[in-house]
Amino acid sequence: MSTKFCDTFGIEHPVVLAPMAGVASDALVAAVSNAGGLGLTPLWHVSTDDLRTSVRNIKQLTDKPFGVNLNMDFPSLEHLDACLEEEVEVISLFWRPPGEFLARAKAGGAKVVYSAGDAADAKAAAELGADAICAQGWEAGGHVRGTVGSMALIPAVVDAVGDIPVVAAGGIADGRGLAAALSLGASAVWVGTRFLAAAEANVHPDYLSHLLAASENDTAHFDDLFDIGWPDAPHRALNNSTTKMWEESGRLPLGQRPGEGDVVASTSTGGEVLRYQSKSPSGDLTGNVEAISMWAGQGVSMVKEVQSASDIVLEIVNEADATLQRILCR
Residues that bind ligand FMN (CB under 6 A): 18-21, 23, 42, 69, 94, 115, 136, 139-143, 169-172, 190-193, 280, 295, 297, 299
Q: Smallest distance, Å, CB 88 to ligand FMN?
A: 15
Q: Smallest distance, Å, CB 262 to ligand FMN?
A: 21
Q: Smallest distance, Å, CB 140 to ligand FMN?
A: 3
CB nearer to ligand FMN: pick between 175 and 248: 175
Closest residue to bound ligand FMN by CB: 192
In one letter, which amino acid is 320? A
DSSP calls for 134-155: EEE-TT-SEE---SS-HHHHHH
CB nearer to ligand FMN: pick between 18 and 166: 18
Can you say whether residue 162 is alpha, beta or left, with left for phi > 0 and alpha for psi between -120 and 50 degrees? Answer: left
Q: Smallest distance, Å, CB 172 to ligand FMN?
A: 6
CB nearer to ligand FMN: pick between 23 and 255: 23
CA gap 126, 73 in Å, rounded? 20
CB nearer to ligand FMN: pick between 19 and 39: 19
Q: Smallest distance, Å, CB 36 to ligand FMN?
A: 19
CB nearer to ligand FMN: pick between 98 and 192: 192
Computed on alpha carbons and rounded to an integer, the radius of gyration of the chain in Å comes to: 19
CA gap 205, 212 in Å, rounded? 10
**Are the beta carbons of 8 and 131 closer than 8 angstroms?**
yes
Q: Smallest distance, Å, CB 8 to ligand FMN?
A: 19
DSSP calls for 3-55: -HHHHHHT-SSSEEE---TTT--HHHHHHHHHTTSEEEEE-TTS-HHHHHHHH
CB nearer to ligand FMN: pick between 274 and 292: 292
